[in-house]
Each structure stands twice: as structure tokens, then as C-alpha cells.
Amino acid sequence: MVRIVSVHCGRNIQQRLLCMGIQIDDVIKTIQCRHGAVLIAKNNNRYVLGSGMALKIQVVQEK
């Protein structure tokens, strides 16, 4: 489980994340990371983030 602390990207990617319901201070679960793509889960929904998008999201380990 990780908490999103910041997103360093342009308006388009921020809008795409918001459409998925992902924003700063959300707690998400990292399920799998393969070839740069990251599979995450939030509220029983799963999303795949491409490597470029995933690298722009800063997270910290949730206690």
C-alpha cells in the first residue's frame, strides 16, 4: 500500500488520472510491475499505468 504525494506531469495526464479517480493523498495498492507498466488497485478497481505515467507519480509507503 502506498500513498500518492505528488504528480509531476502535464494537464492531460492529470486529467486522465482524475477520470480514473486517482488523486494526491489517495492510498492505492501496487499489484504488479512488469516491463515498466504498473498494475494498481483502488476501491476494488484495477488500473494499468504505463511506464511513462507511473514514473511521474511520487508515492510513499503507507504505514
Global pTM value: 0.85
CA distance 50 to 14: 14
Q: What is the mean pLDDT of residues 11-22?
A: 91
DSSP state, residue 51? H
Q: What are the extents of the domains in the chain?
A: 2-61
Beta bridge partners of 46: 41
Distance of CA 37 to the CA centre of its chain: 11
Contact 48, 38 (CB under 8 A): yes
Overall size of the chain counted in residues: 63
Q: At the topology level of CATH, where does 2-61 sit?
A: SH3 type barrels. (2.30.30)
CA distance 59 to 26: 10
Residue 32 has pLDDT above 90, yes or no: yes
